[in-house]
């Protein structure tokens, strides 16, 4: 089980890095900035994964409140990235169906369900997260495809799907944290959520997914605003370029 979870987590984050690299190539930024984004994102993902692994190996996440404490770091970094012009340019050229479709990796939550079936995790912690993750992951490709094809109600469907995915993560995290406290008594004990390999879900995968949901909301709002901008209010440069064409 540990080898499978570690392998799938590594593969999912390799795909995430490949996506970031491709987006960087599309973005209207300098060649230096493209290489900087690609190298920095690779380093951050590797360091983050290694840090979570080493902390878990030393029993850090067995302490109540350890997981929320660690999550502060990626969420803080993810929030302040919005203030970076380079990052905003990267987001602006990210195809919506890419950022939605990538969440197909949430089907890895099925491993939580396997842990429950094997008697390794309590149902109160594994079932909400596992079922929610699998549902989000399985529906990501059709939602992405429908948005790509500009199907009827695609934007509304994307909003609903994105809201469900984000709320499911928050719910699963909250229940998982409570399950590690004396407030909820469960058999088997939820302490396994604080050790390898299961701790990778709340401490490593969850921040990725929740940040992607946040960025998706931003893109949906931004592109709706751009779509509704009257032609007469477009920059003169863009109008002249269109006229030249």
Displacement of CA 23 from its chain's centroid (Å): 16
Instruction: Give percent above pLDDT 90 in the chain.
Output: 42
Show Cβ contacts of residue 194 under 8 Å, excluding neighbours closer than 6 positions.
Answer: 56, 59, 61, 62, 63, 66, 67, 180
**Residue-wise pLDDT tens digits, 82-109:** 888 999 999 999 999 999 999 999 999 8
**Residue-wise pLDDT tens digits, 7-55:** 888 888 888 899 999 999 999 999 999 999 999 999 999 999 999 989 9
Give me the phi and psi of 85, to 5 degrees please: -65, -35
pTM for this prediction: 0.83
**Residue-wise pLDDT tens digits, 196-217:** 888 888 888 899 899 999 999 9
Residue 200 to residue 222: CA distance in whole angstroms: 32
Residue 224: band (very low, low, confident or very high) from pLDDT cuts 50, 70, 90:
low
* Residue 182 structure tokens: 């004396």
């Amino acid at each position: 089980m540990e080898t499978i979870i570690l392998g799938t987590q590594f593969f999912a984050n390799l795909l995430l890095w490949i996506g970031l690299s491709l987006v960087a190539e599309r973005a209207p930024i300098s060649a230096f900035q493209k290489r900087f984004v690609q190298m920095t994102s690779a380093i951050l993902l590797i360091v983050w994964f290694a840090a979570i692994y080493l902390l878990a190996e030393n029993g850090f996440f067995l302490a109540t409140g350890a997981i929320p404490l660690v999550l502060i770091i990626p969420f803080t970094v993810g929030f302040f990235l919005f203030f970076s012009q380079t990052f905003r340019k990267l987001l602006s050229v990210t195809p919506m169906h890419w950022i939605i479709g990538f969440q197909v990796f949430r089907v890895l939550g099925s491993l939580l369900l396997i842990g429950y079936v094997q008697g390794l995790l309590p149902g109160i912690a594994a079932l909400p997260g596992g079922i929610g993750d699998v549902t989000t992951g399985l529906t990501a490709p059709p939602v992405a495809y429908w948005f790509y094809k500009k199907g009827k109600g695609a934007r509304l469907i994307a909003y609903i799907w994105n809201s469900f995915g984000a709320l499911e993560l928050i719910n699963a995290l909250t229940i998982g944290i409570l399950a590690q406290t004396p407030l909820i008594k469960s058999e088997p004990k939820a302490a396994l959520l604080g050790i390898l390999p299961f701790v990778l879900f709340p401490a490593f995968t969850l921040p990725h997914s929740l940040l992607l949901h946040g960025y998706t909301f931003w893109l949906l709002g931004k592109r709706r605003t751009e779509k509704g901008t009257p032609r007469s209010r477009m920059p003169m440069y863009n109008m002249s370029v269109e006229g030249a064409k």
